[in-house]
Amino acid sequence: MICEIIPNKDSRESEPDFVNEKLKKLRGLQSRGVWEEVWATEVPEDANIMRSRFVLTIKEKGIPNEICKARFVEQGFRDAEKLKTVHFACLVRPESLQLTLSMATANNWMLGTIDVTQAYLQGEHLPRDVYLQPPEELSKKGKLIHLVKPLYALTDSGDLWYTALTNYLQSVLNLTHTTGDSGMYYDARTRAGLLSTYVDDLLIAGSSSFLENLSKIQEKSQYKEPKYSNFTYGGVQLEHSKEGTKAYQGRYASSIKLLALDSSFE
């Protein structure tokens, strides 16, 4: 999939597709209670205030079904408390992914992936006060946005999502961390399945009863329909069957554009 990121202040920002996408995104965030509006005069003088903006992208660039997307973010690099934040968010290790594929093949398990939608918004509530200057599409004179839930680009957004997911996997689904990788879980009772986390993408491998138990995740999180047997995970195309598991990156490699580099130094 080829994706183009639209530069800031690009003339395409005002195109109808992007304007509608930005308004749709703001309405969705408001309906989920991501923030509350407050009067600027009520905010402490030393408050942590950041600017906000949209990151615009075109997915499936250059083909008929290209999609205009808008992501609302704050300028996290301006976070006055970012250096005080301790990070616990983790990505599953490559060795653990290899183990998952091997176990799925050896035990004839089903192999699939779950893509959690708007994962950071489903994390723990923000435990500190963060204020944003609203975008022009939401700007109201004299008001600021007080974040209730973490947004993308905030220093600890990934940590809060990881904490919420881990608590749910352990307390509700009774899964256990593997000793060597905090991004990988297993069912200690039946040993009939593995689950790995890569931010908002979950790799699942196990028996039918193990996967049925994982369906409870829907009660906690919103996610896209699980994909099995043939799917992409972490940029790697996976094909799984009784005969074995094939992993390759041909599609990704074919989408890379070669750069004309002159190494002659003349």
- In this predicted structure, what is the pLDDT of residue 40? 93
Tokens of 108: 């004839």
> Which pLDDT score, from 0 to 100, does residue 64 have?
66
Residue 141 lies in a domain: yes
Tokens of 120: 């950071």
Task: Tell me the per-residue pLDDT of 198-245, one tens digit each, with 9 for 90 and over.
Answer: 888 899 999 988 988 887 776 666 667 788 888 888 778 888 888 888
pLDDT of residue 85: 73
Does residue 175 lie in a domain region?
yes
Cα 64 to Cα 62: distance, rounded to the nearest angstrom? 7
Amino acid occupying residue 183: G
Question: What tens-digit pLDDT sequence spans the chain (266 residues)?
Answer: 567 888 888 888 888 889 999 999 898 898 889 999 999 999 999 999 999 989 999 876 666 677 888 989 888 888 888 877 767 667 888 899 899 999 999 999 999 998 888 888 888 899 999 999 998 888 788 999 999 998 888 888 888 888 888 888 888 889 998 888 888 999 988 889 999 998 888 999 999 889 888 877 766 666 677 888 888 887 788 888 888 888 888 777 777 777 766 655 55
Token output for 136: 């022009």
Residue 76 within a domain? yes
pLDDT at 220: 60
In a domain, 77, yes or no: yes
117 within some domain: yes
Distance, in Å, from the CA atom of 187 to the CA atom of 175, rounded to the nearest integer, reads 5
Domain assignment present for residue 130? The answer is: yes
- Is residue 265 included in any domain, yes or no? no
- The helix (run of H) or strand (run of E) holding residue 71 is strand 67-74
Question: Is residue 64 a part of any domain in this protein?
Answer: yes
Instruction: Quote the CA–CA distance of 58 and 3 in Å, as a whole number.
Output: 6
For residue 164, the model assigns a pLDDT of 87
Q: Say what the pLDDT of residue 88 is.
A: 66
Instruction: Answer for the pair 173, 193: CB distance below 8 angstroms, yes or no.
Output: no
Residue 50: per-residue pLDDT: 92
Residue 222: per-residue pLDDT = 66
Domain that holds residue 125: 3-254
pTM of the model: 0.78
Q: Give the pLDDT of residue 20.
A: 92
Q: What is the largest CA-CA distance in the chain?
A: 66
As for how many domains the chain has, the answer is 1
